[in-house]
Amino acid sequence: MIRHHPDENLLLEYASGSLARGPSLVVAAHVQMCADCRSQLHTLNNLGGSLLNGSPAQPLQANAFERLMERISQIPEKILHKSEESSTPAPVSREPAMDHLPKVLNKLLASNPNRRWKTLTRNLQICRLKSGQREYEVAFHSLRSGSGLPKHDHRGREFALVLHGSFSDHNGIYGRGDFVLREPGQVHRPIATQDMDCLCFSAVEAPVSLTGVRGLFLNPLIPFRPG
């Protein structure tokens, strides 16, 4: 059962197209896993459509259609057929926990054929992905069962989605499908549950900051690669 969701304001940002691409990927993946949020998003889209229909019509320039056709004719052939290529189902991965992902993440994986998992600590691995933007680092994180991350602060917002397994912190337990938003200044220490590894997908706008004396030495070394 999914217990943690984006709030209505965040869903409204997503529905209106004003949410940045990194967070939008996380929200989209959650919506594809959550029937409640799909229903709420459908309501917001219908409301937006009603408001648009009620707006006064704006006249088009006399040559608008000709200009549109000219721009289309200048688009390279490979871009025109990109949507057909992206509709091809993603191959089954070698990571079992990633075999049943939301469609939006399968498409993202298909556009990152050369992705690599890197070990950050003995308990944590990361797989960074290219997503066509330069604001957020977009990545999968795999935390070994029963292990925890060091206590840390957030320098920027972090949007995350649990895809497999679960973890807990002082705010509660987060399982498959749960959406997590951490704001700058929020300190926590995620710990994966004992029964299985925890796989998350996230978009972060700044590197985390380890607390305590350890952070004085390690924080300058924490990598951050938006893309």
Q: What is the mean pLDDT of residues 65-87?
A: 56
* pLDDT tier for residue 82 given thresholds of 50, 70 and 90: very low
Against a cut of 0.85, is the pTM above it? no
Q: How many CA atoms within 13 Å lie on the side-chain side of 113?
A: 3
Residue-wise pLDDT tens digits, 90-113 = 443 456 577 789 999 999 999 999
- Other CB atoms within 10 A of residue 118 CB: 11
Residue-wise pLDDT tens digits, 197-226 = 999 999 999 988 777 666 656 667 677 889
- Other CB atoms within 10 A of residue 165 CB: 21
- Other CB atoms within 10 A of residue 199 CB: 23
Query: Using CA atoms, how far apart are residues 111 and 146, in angstroms rounded to an integer?
Result: 32
Angle of helix 35-53 relative to helix 21-33, nearest 10 degrees, comes to: 120
Query: Using CA atoms, how far apart are residues 22 and 178, in angstroms rounded to an integer?
Result: 17
Unique residue bearing structure tokens 């997590």? 180
The answer to whether 26 and 202 are in contact (CB under 8 A) is yes
Local structure of 124: helix, strand or coil: strand
Domains of the chain (ranges, CATH numbers):
1-52+65-227 (2.60.120.10)
User: Which tokens belong to 166?
Assistant: 């679960």
Unique residue bearing structure tokens 């807990």? 168
* pLDDT tier for residue 68 given thresholds of 50, 70 and 90: low
Query: Using CA atoms, how far apart are residues 98 and 93, in angstroms rounded to an integer?
Result: 6
H-only helix segments in the chain: 8-16, 21-33, 35-53, 64-73, 77-80, 82-86, 103-110, 212-218
Computed over every residue of the chain, the mean pLDDT equals 84
The per-residue DSSP string of 156-219 comes to S-EEEEEEES-EEETTEEE-TT-EEEE-TT--B--EE-TTS-EEEEEEESS-EEE-HHHHHHHG
Query: Using CA atoms, how far apart are residues 24 and 107, in angstroms rounded to an integer?
Result: 14
User: Which tokens belong to 54?
Assistant: 């009620």
